[in-house]
Amino acid sequence: MNAVLSSTRVEHSTAEPLLSIQKVEKRFAKRAVLCGISLDVASGEFLTILGESGSGKTTLLRLIAGFEQLDAGEIWMGRERLDEIPAYRRQVNTVFQSYAIFPHLSVFENVAYGLKAKNAPRNEIPERVTQALAMVKMSEFTQSAPSRLSGGQQQRVALARALVNRPRVLLLDEPLSALDANLRRQMQIELKSLQREVGITFIFVTHDQEEAMALSDRIALLRSGRLEQVAEPREIYGHPRTAYVAQFIGQTNLLRAEVHDGVATAGAIAWPSAGPSGPALFSLRPEAIRLASAAPANPTGATANFHGHIRNQTFGGAMDLLEIDCGNSQAIRARVSSPGTLSGQQKFEFNAADAVRVQEGSET
């Protein structure tokens, strides 16, 4: 297991990280907001910092942008110590949650602001601004006043205003949270393709785990100022490190089990488990459970099955959500492809490998 981990780590470190956050700590008054955050971001990566409100994700972003001073630790960009230079000298741009469009300047002037501030050649400015506005499909609003734009349009201007400077890292602070659901999905898709197009490293802050999974190359899950897990979306979903991660990302059943001689037992359910003996916590995704009758005759790998009473069935279109009472203290939730109305006792099964052993998670 360790050998596998270290080999992947070597793979990651072949290219020097673009941004390196090392043991960063931040306190507000006496409250610790970030406690020893270390995180490397590769060039061209789409990294999402995911966490609940108050987890410190925005603070981490503000430290990288330079709006806050860190209390301990270092932030490096390449060979440059980023945390020691003022915000206006960092090759980092931010898309603010509230857009922060200058209300007294036109859309064009807003986008040109950074170029003028950095004394870009005068004759280049109009062309670069036009390009940036075209990229976010805002060409027709070049001369508009920001007050005439909708939230989504302001968002696009904010994006163009940041990208026009060709930053090495683009920081996005919950940029989509103020948009309605449809626009939000559309912007997610555009944002992702835009990131591929420009090849700039994106650090994206959100509290929305679905958004994080849809967009990111990697997700860094932050909890109370500590990194709970940093991994690719599939990895973090399929192999959550802790119970908190399992519950925060997607839905899950947490099974408190006793492992003995390669068999884990949680109440009426038992399945083969290779891990060390003793009490253990397992995460079993609802969609990993299926009706035994619908299962293929010869499933690969070890399977486990159990009987349970259907307590509740919620119709969900393609997939129904079942609440199954199998004698344990908590009901098991299963997501099965529309089985028709079920009732009474049913037999369920799941692949033993889908029951993922997780750590309790530090409560500090």
Partner 1 sequence: MYSRTYKAGVTIPPLLWVTAFLLVPYAILFCYSFWSVSSLQVVVHNWNLQNYAQLFRNPLYLTVLLRSIRIAGAVTLLALLLGYPLAYYLSFHAAKRKDLLYQLVIIPLWASYLVRGYAWKTILGSDGVLNGFLQYLHITHRPVEFFLYSPFAVILTLTHIYTPFTFLPIYASLEHVPRNLVEASHDLGASPFSTFLRVILPLSLPGILAGATFAFVLTLGDFLAPLLVGGPSGIMISNIVVSLFGAAYNWPLGAAISFFMLLLVVTLLSITERIEKRFTIS
Residues that bind partner 1 in the complex, under the rule CB under 8 A:
65-67, 86-89, 92-94, 96, 98, 100, 102-104, 113-114, 117-118, 147, 161-162, 165
Give Cα separations from 196 to 190, 202, 217, 284 (angstroms).
10, 10, 11, 34
Cβ atoms of 310 and 324 closer than 8 Å: yes
Which lies closer to partner 1 via its Cβ, residue 163 or residue 289? Answer: 163
Which lies closer to partner 1 via its Cβ, residue 70 or residue 162? Answer: 162
User: What would the two tokens of residue 66 be?
Assistant: 């330079």
Which lies closer to partner 1 via its Cβ, residue 117 or residue 274? Answer: 117
Which lies closer to partner 1 via its Cβ, residue 205 or residue 269? Answer: 205
CB of 65 to partner 1, least distance (A): 6
Cβ atoms of 277 and 311 closer than 8 Å: no
CB of 117 to partner 1, least distance (A): 4
Which residues are within 8 A (CB) of 339 and not within 5 positions of it... i.e. 6 or more apart?
291, 294, 320
Residues 363, 105: Cα–Cα separation, whole Å = 48
Burial classification of residue 358, based on how many CB atoms lie within 10 Å of its CB (0-12 exposed, 13-18 middle, 19 or more buried): buried
DSSP code of residue 17: P
Reduce the DSSP state of residue 156 to 3 states and report it: helix
CB of 151 to partner 1, least distance (A): 15
CB of 330 to partner 1, least distance (A): 44
Residues 48, 205: Cα–Cα separation, whole Å = 6
Which lies closer to partner 1 via its Cβ, residue 144 or residue 359? Answer: 144
CB of 300 to partner 1, least distance (A): 52
Pairing of β 263-266 and β 253-260: antiparallel
At position 241, the amino acid (one-letter code) is R
CB of 256 to partner 1, least distance (A): 45
CB of 242 to partner 1, least distance (A): 34
Helix (H) or strand (E) holding 246: helix 243-248
Which lies closer to partner 1 via its Cβ, residue 103 or residue 301? Answer: 103
Which lies closer to partner 1 via its Cβ, residue 28 or residue 345? Answer: 28
CB of 186 to partner 1, least distance (A): 24
Which lies closer to partner 1 via its Cβ, residue 99 or residue 244? Answer: 99
Give Cα separations from 106 to 96, 125, 131, 146, 361 (angstroms).
18, 15, 16, 6, 49
Residues 283, 285: Cα–Cα separation, whole Å = 6
Residue 352 phi/psi, 5° resolution?
-60, -30
CB of 126 to partner 1, least distance (A): 17
Hey, CA dihedral for 285, 286, 290, 291, is it positive or negative? positive
Which lies closer to partner 1 via its Cβ, residue 128 or residue 357? Answer: 128
Core vs surface per residue 218-237: b (16+ CB within 10 A) or e:
bbbbbbbbbbbbbbebeebb
